[in-house]
Chains A and B, each alone.
Chain A
């Protein structure tokens, strides 16, 4: 599968624990995006990168959220001190500059 790949697909964690998700974009796509989707809602933009540069991070939900794309290829999204309200689907997407974005299957996070 040469599409956007996300790992893990599902994550159950206890409140207060840290979690990290990985996204592998479509090869050669230089833009990578993170969105959050809660049940019954549309995806909500969190942050995005062009290569390794994080171009927008003001939409990250709190300072507990951070993202990296250290070598301009895969990216990680970390949530520290998880809360029950963090339970959601976390979607990654990638694109070239000025082209359509393709989404991954997402990581479903459940905080218990």
Chain B
């Protein structure tokens, strides 16, 4: 089955700096890679996703890159703001099917 590893487990940055979270996956059949943001006590919310036919996707301050050969993908947040503080989860699988999640990254943005 799929195995997803996520690093780092915690990340502290100053407001305005960039943050990068990296994930690796094991199953080359995975073709869908979403990122979810989860604030304390709240539901995971999809912030961006990428499919295996695309190498990079951007949405305002958030971007995701995918390297299928190396089986890794990364989340990039630029110009971080205190409201970006949350736990971020990467996942891998097939859209509309089961997802395998990474262990999460706690991002803290210091004002």
Contact = CB atoms under 8 A, between A and B. Distances in A.
Interface residues of B, number: 22
Contact of B42 (A4, A40, A98, A105): A105
Contacts of B43: 4, 91, 103-106
Contacts of A40: 103-104
Interface residues of A, number: 25
A100 interface: yes
A42 B98 contact: no
A31 B95 CA distance: 11
Interface string A86-112: 000001000111111111111000000
B77 to A, nearest CB: 18
Q: Give the dominant DSSP class at A's interface.
A: loop
Interface stretch (B13-21, B44-52, B56-64): B44-52
Contacts of A103: 36, 43-45
B103 A42 contact: yes
A42 B87 CA distance: 10
B68 to A, nearest CB: 19
A105 B102 CA distance: 19
B65 interface: no
Closest 10 CB pairs of A and B: A42-B101, A98-B96, A45-B98, A97-B96, A103-B43, A98-B95, A103-B44, A42-B89, A105-B43, A43-B101
Interface of B: 4, 6, 34, 36, 42-46, 49, 89, 91, 95-104
30 contacts: A4-B43, A33-B98, A40-B103, A41-B104, A42-B4, A42-B6, A42-B89, A42-B101, A42-B103, A43-B44, A43-B89, A44-B101, A45-B98, A45-B99, A45-B100, A59-B98, A95-B96, A96-B96, A97-B96, A99-B96, A100-B95, A101-B34, A101-B46, A101-B96, A101-B99, A102-B46, A103-B44, A103-B45, A104-B43, A105-B43
